[in-house]
Amino acid sequence: MKKFLICPAIVGAYLSLVSCMTNENPDRISVKQFGVLDDGRAVQVYTLKNSAGSSIDILDLGGIITAINVPDRDGTLADIALGFDNPEQYLTDSPYMGALVGRYANRIAKGKFTLDGNDYSLAINNMGNALHGGIVGFDKKIWQSAASTADDAAILTLSLVSPDGDEGYPGALSATVTYTFDDQNRLTISYHATTDKATVVNLTNHSYFNLNGHNAGSILDHVMMINAATYTPVDETLIPTREISPVKGTAFDFENAKPIGRDIGAGEQQIQYGLGYDHNWVLEKSSPNDFELAAAVYSPKSGRMISLYTDQPGLQFYTGNFLDGTVTGKDNTRYQKRGAFCLETQHFPDSPNHPNFPTTILRPGETYETTTVFEFGILEQD
């Protein structure tokens, strides 16, 4: 298995030597074959482990997180990430479960945008709009992968080059995503990209969580806080209207923690459009791009908790509204509506068509750099 544990190439550099040596330690990171796709390509799964006994499984296919095993308040591990046992299902059945989403996470209206006077057309794959990077987005590509370790963490580095014109997007985009899982049960996801032509970029991870276990049923009892006083309302195809509206007095107010299910049945038009929560919250920041607490969610039943930190301006909070029991996931589980939630840190949907939203344009010579941390903890009491 060691052949997949790639050492840095700079021979003689002290840090590289240390890194190579620590790479030999399978206690922190190991790799094996996850399966073979119908077209014959093999898919590898890396397991990132920590001294707390927790572990996270990640594929080189789509950078997909297939499992997150973390303790409840009694120390009992459960896998809190929805997913599939068979790699092909991630190409055919999966609503982006666990995946790295790109080049543009979320929607672009009618798959069209104009940049520097040039018009671009993307594949339409969702209610007349472009969603999550297209037909073969970053979630469906096999990434180059390299494992390494630090003193207190396992590190998986994934990279790919998306060619000029890929899914209609301009410019060759070189993307690198680093997953770091440390001894404090923190998963840090660092995204990095450069381009050779002006383009738009919006990367995220699309994990589906259920803090009672991936097959434990509804998440409506989970208690959620979102550090946002405003959100971006949408039309019936989930494209932002352009407004930035206060959450106060609406079902979208999570400034004070409340159960996800408390207002999800409200008759509000926005909830009807989303079939539940499927919206972008505008995160409160001391100053733009500050790395701050974005949200916290816990399960009163298990005590498991996620604290989410990001430098991104937005958070898509999605309550698994399109899960309908039709696909069979891990352990023969039929994932049902509201069986999970997603916390997609991001720029706002359809930003290329909304000059009043923070820009998603990346130009040659610039670097797209962003970091999100999922901290898996315990809340002892309600």
What residues are labeled active site?
Answer: 206, 344
Among 316, 333, 345, 370, binds ligand GLA (CB under 6 A): 316
Shortest spacing between CB 335 and ligand GLA, in angstroms: 11
Beta carbon of residue 280, minimum distance to ligand GLA (angstroms, whole number): 9
Q: Which of 322, 331, 366, 369 binds ligand GLA (CB under 6 A)?
A: 322
**Whole-number Å distance between alpha carbons of 221 and 244:** 28
Name the residue nearer to ligand GLA (CB basis): 157 or 207: 207
Q: How far apart are CA 37 and CA 91, in angstroms?
A: 9
Which residues have a Cβ under 8 Å from the Cβ of 254 and sit 6 or more positions away?
A: 224, 225, 226, 228, 247, 281, 295, 317
Least spacing, CB of residue 202 vs ligand GLA, in Å: 12
Tell me the per-residue interface mask from 120 to 139 with ligand GLA, x by CB under 6 A, - otherwise.
-----------x--------
Distance of alpha carbon 96 from alpha carbon 161, whole angstroms: 20
97 and 206 Cβ atoms separated by less than 8 Å: yes
By the 10 Å C-beta count (0-12 exposed, 13-18 middle, 19+ buried), 39 is classed as exposed
CB of 379 closer than 8 Å to CB of 297:
no
Site for ligand GLA in 83-102 (CB under 6 A): 95-96
Is position 57 an interface residue for ligand GLA (rule: CB under 6 A)? no
Which contiguous run of DSSP H or E holds residue 89?
A: helix 87-92
CB-based contact 225:297 (threshold 8 Å): yes
Q: What angle do CA 35, 193, 311 make, to 5 degrees?
A: 100
Strand bridging mode 99-101 / 204-206: antiparallel
Measured in whole angstroms, the distance separating CA 130 from the mean position of its chain's CA atoms is 18
Site map 328..357 versus ligand GLA, x via CB under 6 A: --------------x-x-------------
Segment interacting with ligand GLA, rule: CB under 6 A, options 213-221, 227-235, 288-296, 314-322: 314-322
| Minimal distance, residue 322 CB to ligand GLA, in Å | 5
* C-alpha distances in Å from residue 270, one per residue of 226, 263, 308: 17, 12, 24
Site for ligand GLA in 245-304 (CB under 6 A): 278
Of 182 and 278, CB closest to ligand GLA: 278
Q: Please check whether residue 101 is in contact with residue 122, taking contact to mean a CB–CB distance below 8 angstroms.
A: no
Nearer of residues 28 and 107 to ligand GLA, judged by Cβ: 107
By CB under 6 A, which span of 186-194, 219-227, 258-266, 316-324 interacts with ligand GLA? 316-324
Q: Which residue is nearest to ligand GLA (CB)?
A: 95
Contacts with ligand GLA, 148-187, as mask; x by CB under 6 A: ----------------------------------------
Binder among 318, 341, 348, 368 for ligand GLA (CB under 6 A): 318
Size of the site for ligand GLA (CB under 6 A): 11
Q: How far apart are CA 175 and CA 162, in angstroms?
A: 8
Which letter, b or e, does each residue of 118-136 get, where b requires 16 or more Cβ atoms within 10 Å of its Cβ? eebebebbeeebbbbbbee
Nearest distance from C-beta of residue 83 to ligand GLA, angstroms = 14
Smallest separation, CB 94 to ligand GLA (Å): 9
Q: How far is the CB of 367 from ligand GLA (least distance, A)?
A: 26
Residues at the contact surface with ligand GLA, assessed by CB under 6 A: 95-96, 106, 131, 238, 278, 316, 318, 322, 342, 344
